[in-house]
């Protein structure tokens, strides 16, 4: 899917968004990675070992449609996470964001979560922006087996949470993917704050109305 945005524009946007996420503590050190598809169908992705808070446009790597790697740095070792979403959703995914955000990681460690739908319906916004979020089991960072697991769910889900690791969220654009992963982090924070307090949840009718009004893929 094309964002209808030029390569240079997307390089700048990746850096701007990366710095914003870093400055607000949603990623730290050299963790996290961002990718987007250009109007020419090439994949731009952040490099390995580089802080999103100090990333420069010319450091962003390009992967061509022929799988050629172009750039002065190597792409993140988690490139396969991004590719899994693009391969399964090429018509509706234009960007992917992966973070090691604190509340999401903390929430992924809790016992007795519903792995198929990890968040309770606390707000309509998590439903609108994320749909059902699936919890995936722990794999060592960079393990390509995780890519195979994501491929199995990427056609049905736009967001997954990797146990003891962090969220991966896809979207039509960099902006939508970023908004969604921020919503996921906020939902994890709300979930931790309210855990054990029996909060008032959205009821089935409210969930259904939200799903229908905002055309959410909810049943799969």
Catalytic sites, residue numbers: 78, 125
| Residue 11 backbone dihedrals phi, psi, to 5 degrees | -60, -45
Q: What is the C-alpha separation between 49 and 71, in angstroms, rounded? A: 14
To which H or E segment does residue 170 belong?
strand 166-171
CA–CA gap between residue 214 and residue 180 (Å, rounded): 14
The backbone region for 84, taken as left when phi is positive above 0, alpha when psi lies in -120 to 50, beta otherwise, is alpha
Helices 7-23, 174-194: inter-axial angle, 10-degree rounding: 20
């Amino acid at each position: 899917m094309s964002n209808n945005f030029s390569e240079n524009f997307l390089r700048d946007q990746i850096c701007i968004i990366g710095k914003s996420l870093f400055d607000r503590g949603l990623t730290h050190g050299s963790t996290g990675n961002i990718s987007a598809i250009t109007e020419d169908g090439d994949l731009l992705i952040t490099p390995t070992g580089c802080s999103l808070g100090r990333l420069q446009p010319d450091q962003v790597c390009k992967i061509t449609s022929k799988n050629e790697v172009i750039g002065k740095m190597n792409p993140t070792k988690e490139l396969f996470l991004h590719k899994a979403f693009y391969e399964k959703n090429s018509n509706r995914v234009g960007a992917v964001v992966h973070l090691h955000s604190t509340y999401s990681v903390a929430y992924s460690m809790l016992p007795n979560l519903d792995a198929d739908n990890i968040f309770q319906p606390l707000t309509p916004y998590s439903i609108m922006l994320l749909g059902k979020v699936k919890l995936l089991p722990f794999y060592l960072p960079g393990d390509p087996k995780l890519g195979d697991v994501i491929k199995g769910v990427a056609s049905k889900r736009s967001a997954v949470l990797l146990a003891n690791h962090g969220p991966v969220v896809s979207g039509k654009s960099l902006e939508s993917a970023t908004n969604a992963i921020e919503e996921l982090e906020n939902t994890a924070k709300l979930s931790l704050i309210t855990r054990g307090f029996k909060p008032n949840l959205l009821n089935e009718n409210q969930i259904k109305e939200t799903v229908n009004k905002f055309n959410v893929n909810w049943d799969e």
